[in-house]
């Protein structure tokens, strides 16, 4: 999704990384859930459903990654994998870095 959003890369810190540092994990998951719901519900009505479906897939995929990471952290509290690491890997796999 962010391949076309250079304005995020022009910020001092990308919004996802800022949120990852100031929100609790529950708040960040809530943000991702909210965006997943928003894009799924508005897709049929906005006129650019392909973009909204793409954003739905983006946010739901990232939500899945974060939920898996959170579960792994609970099972292995000594893990050194950070939320920022998860975001970096997600973006890398999508070619956003």
At residue 36, the pLDDT reads 96
Residue 19's CB is within 10 A of a number of other CB atoms, namely: 16
pLDDT by residue for the chain (97 residues), tens only, comes to 444 566 666 778 888 889 989 999 999 999 999 999 999 999 888 777 889 999 999 999 999 999 999 999 999 999 999 999 999 999 899 888 7
CA 90 – CA 61 distance, rounded (Å): 9
Provide the whole-model pTM: 0.84
Contacts (Cβ under 8 Å, ≥6 apart) of 56? 36, 39, 40, 43
At residue 45, the pLDDT reads 86
* φ/ψ bin of 95: left (φ > 0), alpha (ψ from -120 to 50), beta (otherwise): left
At residue 10, the pLDDT reads 76
Cα 37–Cα 43–Cα 46 angle in degrees, nearest 5: 125
């Amino acid at each position: 999704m962010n391949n076309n959003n250079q304005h995020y890369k022009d910020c001092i810190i990308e919004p996802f990384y800022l949120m990852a540092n100031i929100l609790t994990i529950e708040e960040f998951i809530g943000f991702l859930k909210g965006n997943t719901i928003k894009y799924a519900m508005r897709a049929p009505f906005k006129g650019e459903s392909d973009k909204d479906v793409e954003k739905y897939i983006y946010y739901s995929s990232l939500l899945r990654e974060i939920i898996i990471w959170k579960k792994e952290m609970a099972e292995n509290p000594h893990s050194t994998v950070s939320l920022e690491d998860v975001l970096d890997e997600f973006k890398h796999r999508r070619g956003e870095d």
